[in-house]
Amino acid sequence: MTNNIVIGAGISGLSFGYFSKKPFIVFEKENIVGGLCKSVKDNGFTFDYSGHFIHIKEKKIKSLIEKLIGKKLLKVNRNSVILFDNKIIPFPFQANLYYLNERQKQKCIDGIKKRKNIKIYNNMPFIDWAKAMFGDGITNYFMQPYNKKLWNCSLKKLTAEWTAPFVPKPSQEEIIKSAYNKNEQNYGYNSVFYYPQKNGCQEMINGFYKKIKSNVIKSTKVYSIDIQNKRILAGNKYYFYDNIISTQPLKELLSSIKNLPKEISSLIKKLECTSTRCINLGIKYKKNLPERIKDVHWIYVPEKKYPFYRVGIYSNVSKSLAPKNCYSLYIELSNKQNCENIIPLLKKTGIMNDTDEVISINVIDMKYAYVLFNKERTALLNKIFKFLKDNNIYCIGRYGSWEYSFIEKNIIDAKNLAEILNKTK
C-alpha cells in the first residue's frame, strides 16, 4: 500500500488529504491547523492573517467549500480604493485618472502617450515593464512606490512574471478616457469574492479539517528527510514513506533533506521572499464608522510617507467579525522596523476617527509572504522540482511551489496531485 506523508496542514495539505484515496498522514508543526488561513479571536473580534478573502473562478470549488462548511458563503462585490494625495480614489489607479488634479492627470496622459516602443516580456524588470505598460506618470505615482513598499526590494531585480492575474491592464484608450469620464468597469481578478458568514477564514479550514481529522497529527514538526532510506523524522519518531507531499516553504524543505547534492543545496540561498507584518486592530467608535472607510474593503497606500502598504476593513466584509459599535482593521507592512505611530497616522488619514478607541491589538508576523520573482527563479525551480520528483517528493501550495498563489489555486493543485497519486500502485 502506498504511504503518503504530507508536511503541513494549511489549505494545501488539508485539501490534498481530502482528495486522497491512499493512506496518508499530515504532520503539522503548530497546535492549530490552517497555516496562513487561520483566524484569531480576541475580545469579540475575529481576525485573519490580514485579509484572506476567497476569490473563486471555478463553481465547483465554491460548492465544495459550501458543502464542507454546511453554509452558503457571503458573496461580496469588492470595493477597494487607493489613498493618494490625501484623497480616496477607486482601484485601479490606471483606470481612474478622473480623480487626480489637472497636473497629475496631464503627467499620466503624457506618460502613456510618450511610452517607448519596447518589447514587453514576462521576465523583464518590473519597473521597465510598468513604464512600458503605463508610462512614467502612472508608474511614478503608483506602480513604483506601491510595489517598492510591498516587495521591499529593487524593482529592477523583481521581474514582471507575477503581474498576469494581479495587475489590471486597461488599454491606452481606456486609461486616457478615464481622465475625463468616471470609469464604470470592474477591473481585476477579485472584483467579486467570497467569505464565510462567521468565524473568519478558519471556518473554511475547519470544514476540510473535520473530514480528515484522524489523519492529522498536530504539534509535530518534520525535522529531517532521509531520501536514501525514504524515512522522515517527525517529532521524535521515524516514519517510512513512499511519497512526500510538501507544503512547507521550499527553502526549509530543501534544508531538511540529508546529504542534499551540492548542485541543489547551492540554490537554496537564491530563493528569496518578503515578510509581512500584519497589525490587527479592534476599534470601538464613539458615533459612527469613519466616513472615509464606509463600505470600503481595503485601501492601497502607495505613498512613502506611510509605512504601511495596505489597510483593510474586516468588519466591512462581514459584520460578524466585530462586536456592536466596533470595526476592525488589518494594517500590512513589509518592513517591521517601521511600525511606530501607526494609530496617529491612521487618525491623520481619516481611516480612524480621532475619538475612536483601540480595544484589541494583535500582531502577526508572516516570515514567508511574497516569494520574489527574480530572473533566475524559473530555471532554479525546474532544477529543484526535477530532483525532488525523482525522489518522490512533490511540492504544492504557495510556499511549497514557491509561487504567488491563492486559496482556490492551492485547492485545485492539491486535488490534481492527489488524483495523480491516487492512480499509483
**Contacts to ligand FAD by CB under 6 A:** 7-13, 27-30, 35-37, 50-55, 221-222, 247-248, 252, 276, 366, 369, 397-400, 405-407, 410
Give Cβ neighbours of residue 388 (< 8 Å, ≥ 6 apart): 253, 394, 395
CB of 416 to ligand FAD, least distance (A): 14
Minimum CB distance to ligand FAD smaller for 283 or for 414: 414
Q: Which residues contact 157 (CB under 8 A, 6 or more apart)?
A: 125, 372, 374
Minimum distance of ligand FAD from residue 402's CB (angstroms)? 11
Buried b (16+ CB within 10 A) or exposed e, 78-114: bbbbbbbeeebbbbbbbbbbebbeeebbebbbebbee
The full length of the chain comes to 425
Nearer to ligand FAD, 35 or 170 (CB): 35
- Which CB atom, from 78 or from 131, has the smaller least distance to ligand FAD? 78
Smallest distance, ligand FAD to C-beta of residue 410, A: 5
136 or 332: CB nearest ligand FAD: 332
Name which of 68 and 407 has its Cβ closer to ligand FAD. 407
170 vs 312, beta carbon nearer ligand FAD: 312
User: Of 141, 163, 156, which is closest to residue 301 (Cα–Cα)?
Assistant: 141
In angstroms, give the least distance from the CB of 62 to ligand FAD. Answer: 13
Pairing of strands 357-366, 276-284: antiparallel
Rg of the chain taking only CA atoms, in angstroms: 23
Cell readout for 92 is 485601479
- Min. distance of Cβ 85 from ligand FAD in angstroms? 26
What φ, ψ does residue 199 adopt, rounded to 5°? 70, 15
Gap between the Cα atoms of 192 and 259, Å rounded = 47
- Nearest of 25, 46, 60 to residue 244 by alpha carbon: 25
Of 47 and 399, CB closest to ligand FAD:
399
Smallest distance, Å, CB 74 to ligand FAD? 14
3-state helix, strand, coil in the chain (%, to 5): 35, 25, 40
CA distance linking residue 301 with residue 138, whole number of Å: 14
State the minimum distance, in angstroms, from the CB of residue 83 to ligand FAD: 18
Q: Which is nearer to ligand FAD, 18 or 27 (CB)?
A: 27
User: Which residues lie closer than 8 Å to 135 by C-beta, 6 or more apart?
Assistant: 108, 110, 111, 112, 113, 114, 115
Find the shortest distance in angstroms from Cβ 316 to ligand FAD.
14
